[in-house]
A and B are shown apart, each in its own frame.
Chain A
Amino acid sequence: MNSRDQVSGVRFQAAHLRYAALAPLLFALLPLSAQQSKAWEQIPVPKLHEFHPQQPKRIELKNGIVIFLEEDHELPFISGEVLIPGGSRDVDSSKAGLIGIYSQAWRTSGTAKMSGDSMDDFLEAKAAHIETNGDDDSTALSWDSLKEDSDQVFSLAMDLLFHPEFIAEKLQLARQQEATGIVRRNDDEGEIAEREAAKLVYGANSPYTRQPELATIGKVTLADLNAWHDRTLKGKLIVGVIGDFDSAAMEAKVRAIFEPLPDATANPQRYDEFAGPKPGAYFIDKEDVNQSNVQIVGLGIDRHNPDVPAIVIMDEILSGGFGSRLFQKVRTQLGLAYAVGGGFNLPYDHPGSFRVEVLTKSVSTVDATKAALDEISALNSHPFTEAELKRAKDDILNSFLFRYDTRAKVLAEQERLEFYGYPANYLETYHDALEKVTLADVTAAAKKYVHPDKLAVLVVGNSSEIKPPVSDLGLGAPQTIDITIPRPQQSNTPSGGQQ
């Protein structure tokens, strides 16, 4: 714990000394056109106040379950979360959508002792919450209440965690919500673009991108929900609690619940294959828009990769904020887009994607896309400069403490690292590694990970307005992607529309 406590204080001071030697000139005394002397560089930047973020208390139970407790006495609330391994990527493709339904029906069904509806009444009267959520690699149950109600709310949350009673009526309700999402998924241009771009990278049937269909959600049964729940609850749970409590007392309460559980089962290994996109141009026509959403995508890497720090710096140079190459070129110099950005996302346990997004008016689709592609290619041809490296490092390192400036963030970070099996001092070593990145590192990372010839370009836009057409990108005739929503037989429609 001690080493982690020192994450920040010391390290941030070094960089901040650079203006300290300058006389703290009064701004008012500066000549009016002081651009050579850079007025802002004359403003003193004192030493940053020392800061040791309070790390949560970590308790590892014999059965493998890990508990984190973070005291925070500023306000009279207590909240917590149980993180459960297993999510949508672990669901059979014939039941895609199960996690969405499960995570709703779990909470709305309630328990044998208290139905979901009664739970709503009980909690809302206390301005308290218990919620269940699902993600691609996990599900979670969380709670939150005023301190005075926390014992009651905690017991109720634990009842829901261990004794849910899934009921048909709430399964149907959740299925309808999912169905609404499915039939509306082609209304929003950005939603289409992001979804289809991910499918280009991972493949349409990948566990990471396959989408729920009316047919697959129709197949989800109560037995499926119960089986999923029973299976995942045996996994290596992570429990985090934060708020206005005494750690010793809270530890006793949480131990009493989780200590008697049998040994947690190991998280199942995954053996996914990631081929990356088939290079070329892809097109989806949307006649009710007057702008194009362009996605330039390729296969990326995961966070374990030792080159991550260099890639993060390169990303910052390419697309981090107003000073980045993409922003300067496509938005500022060419005025072609309101939004442009992207880069490598870095998932903790599987390869991510490289993705650059450009939003531009229909007629400038080709120009804006070419400009963005040029900037991507330039990562391998246009040498990185010391100034770019410095800007990127300043941007990232000077705002680094916003990753742990609240206790909630500190706790969430520790839960995340525990979940993915990263060392608890990850942020610290990551910060050090970022500091050490050199120009040569960035150049090498670009060469190794940026492959313009392996990228796919997806345009979602209005074909009648896109002139010159997408074929002018020089990537061959664009391949049209069919996004028609499959309609199952009427008898299977879970839409609730035939009452």
Chain B
Amino acid sequence: MFSYFKRKLLSVCLVTLAAASVACAQGDLSTYLKGFEKNTTVKVLPNGLTLIVCERHEAPVFSYTTFIDAGDVNDPFGESGLAHMFEHLAFKGTTQIGTKNYAAEKIALEKVEAANDAYEAEYLKPIGRDEAKLKTLHDAFLAAQKEAEQYVIPNQFTEVAEANGAHGLNAETALDDTKYYWSMPENRLELWAWMESGRLSDVVPREFYKERDVVVEERRMRTDSDPIGRLIEQFQATAYVAHNYGRSGIGWPSEVSQITATEAMAFHKKYYVGGNIVVAVVGDVDTKTALPILEKYFSRIPAGPKPEEMTTVEPKQFAEKSVIIREQTQPFYVEGYHRPSYRDPDDAVYDAISDIMSNGRVSRLYRSLVEQQQIAAESAGISPLPGEKYPALFVFYAVPLPGHTPKEMRDAIRKEIEKLKTSDVSDAELQMYKTRARADILRSLGDNQGLANSLAEYQTRYGDWRELFLQLDKIDKVTKADIRRVAKQVFVDSNRTSAEIDTEPPAAGTKNEGGAE
């Protein structure tokens, strides 16, 4: 009941949840860490790729996560949505799977690219565009695609995975990173290693332009046809002036609809290199026999160091900003404050604030807005959003009850934020945060797929998967004074962007479909 809109916000931003924490009773996580150290092996291959194998013999299955330290934040200028577009390509097969004749297909694909270039050059002419010529070029582009399609065995990659028992097969592109994952019966480990290493190293821009149309459809579903999706896209774009966190993750329509296969392959070449990839396998595997197999296949991935870091740093905000959408949907309110990245020493303090403000029926926002004032159906804070790798936002939102307005949400949220600045949280609240963080870490240890995600993510973000356990030190050190200090520093007017949906009455003569009272 608390999380419907939260899930929505997160999915709109394509954010991968910061690795779910998980663990033990009274600080006894160290016992579990020892167990995991015994069962977990990390190996860095000569090409720079990191393999993590964690044995867990509950059932004859394993799960994996391939974690690429690149996402849509890395999309070059004018190519928003590219990382996500590439993720779709990674399901199209390789030179060996998904083709009837790769040698011939390769030539045909080159012709598709040339035809697209010719079409685009004409299409983008600022003056003197020849519409007749444009049509001829477009026809040629479609013909070239058709020519290439004759070599395709559609969806063969995923079909082979599914026929071999792949379960929960999917991928996610966030702003910060891209994850590929599924689970399989343990006797398919080698088959999986062949498939996964193949698509990472040997990808073919097959059916790229058709897939581009699919992604444009996905944008319609996630963003354009969803009031909250539209609001959040505008909210992010307003909050950021320089950094790519302000850019639509799925891509601006004009850009995502003109991404080319050449651009996608260039992205792949730059970011899908050994040093930028961690692969974690968790489940019923025997490390001794599995590692050589994994090593053999994953060594195929091109060697390369991590790509250079981004230079852009979002400048300090000095003016309060707001977005108001007026339309015939129900009201909504959200506001965000810039905060540092996950590497900031205060990261756990932000988590503490988020927990105390938002976690469950004891949280301050629930008790105040939902229970006592009875003005909201749901209210919480989420941090960090839309990513965590770079300076992000601390976001608060509220869903008004019928008859209540975004302005009431704003005032009520601000009142709770103000309290954080003027008085200390209680000992009980702080202790509750620490107890829950511990228990959450423990709980997350019982699931192959969740563990594979966490191990790969912590290994990438901290250089050591053990941080999954060691983070408890930082959590335990958070003080009441820290919370007050950080709140005072971050939750200030000039650092704020707000966005709201104001419900517009239907135009005269049209039917009311659930608008304002």
Binding site for B on A (CB under 8 A): 12, 16, 26-28, 32-35, 39-40, 43-51, 53, 74-77, 104, 108, 116-117, 120-121, 124-127, 146-148, 172-173, 176-177, 179-181, 183-189, 286-291, 320-323, 327-328, 331-333, 335, 337-339, 359-361, 391, 394-395, 398-399, 401-402, 404-407, 482-485, 487, 493, 495-499
Contact = CB atoms under 8 A, between A and B. Distances in A.
A399 B439 contact: no
A291 B217 contact: yes
A288 B329 contact: yes
B370 A173 contact: yes
A410 B330 CA distance: 42
A360 B214 CA distance: 9
A347 B95 CA distance: 43
A309 B187 CA distance: 26
Contacts of A34: 96
B187 A40 contact: no
Nearest to B286: A49
B191 interface: yes
Contacts of B401: 176, 179-180, 495-497
A399 B166 contact: yes
Contacts of B225: 189, 288-291
Contact of A124 (B95, B218, B432, B514): B432
Contacts of A125: 428, 431-432, 435
B296 A28 contact: yes
A275 B103 CA distance: 56
B473 interface: no
A333 B154 contact: yes
A182 to B, nearest CB: 8
Interface in B423-451: 428, 431-432, 435-436, 438-440, 442-443, 445-447
A146 B102 CA distance: 56
A338 B217 contact: yes
A185 to B, nearest CB: 7
Given A187-B329, A398-B165, A120 B25 contact: no
A148 B431 CA distance: 17
Given A27-B297, A497-B402, A332 B207 contact: yes
B200 to A, nearest CB: 14
B132 interface: no
Contacts of B374: 172-173, 176, 496, 499
> Size band of the B side of the interface?
35 or more
Given A43-B194, A177-B377, A338-B217, A402 B61 contact: yes
Interface of B: 1, 24-25, 58-61, 91, 95-97, 99-103, 154-155, 158-160, 162-168, 183, 185-188, 190-191, 194-195, 207, 210-211, 213-218, 220-221, 224-227, 284, 296-297, 327-330, 359-362, 370-371, 374-375, 377, 399, 401-404, 428, 431-432, 435-436, 438-440, 442-443, 445-447, 511-514, 517
Contacts of B25: 76, 146-148
Nearest to B209: A335
B185 A12 contact: yes
A497 B194 contact: no
A103 B168 CA distance: 31
B486 to A, nearest CB: 22
A176 B377 contact: yes
A34 B1 CA distance: 53
Contacts of A331: 214
A74 B377 CA distance: 37
Given A35-B101, A288-B227, A335-B210, A48 B187 contact: yes
Nearest to B438: A127
Given A47-B187, A121-B428, A180-B402, 14 more contacts: A27-B297, A33-B101, A48-B60, A125-B435, A127-B435, A146-B25, A172-B374, A179-B401, A289-B225, A398-B163, A398-B165, A399-B166, A406-B58, A487-B517
Contact of A49 (B163, B165, B284): B284
Q: Which of A322, A399, A484 has the most CB of B within 10 A?
A: A399
A146 B24 CA distance: 8
B514 A120 contact: no
Nearest to A364: B217
A320 B511 CA distance: 39
A322 B442 contact: no
B435 A43 contact: no
Contact of B399 (A26, A180, A185, A407): A180
A46 B60 CA distance: 12
Contacts of A46: 187
Given A51-B59, A484-B512, A485-B514, A40 B436 contact: no
A187 B514 contact: yes
Contacts of B191: 40, 43, 45
A116 B359 CA distance: 16
A401 B160 contact: no
B403 A497 contact: yes
A288 B327 contact: yes
Contacts of A108: 361
A104 B164 contact: no
Contacts of B213: 335
Given A180-B402, A401-B185, A322 B1 contact: no
A322 B162 contact: yes
Contact of B513 (A177, A186, A361): A186
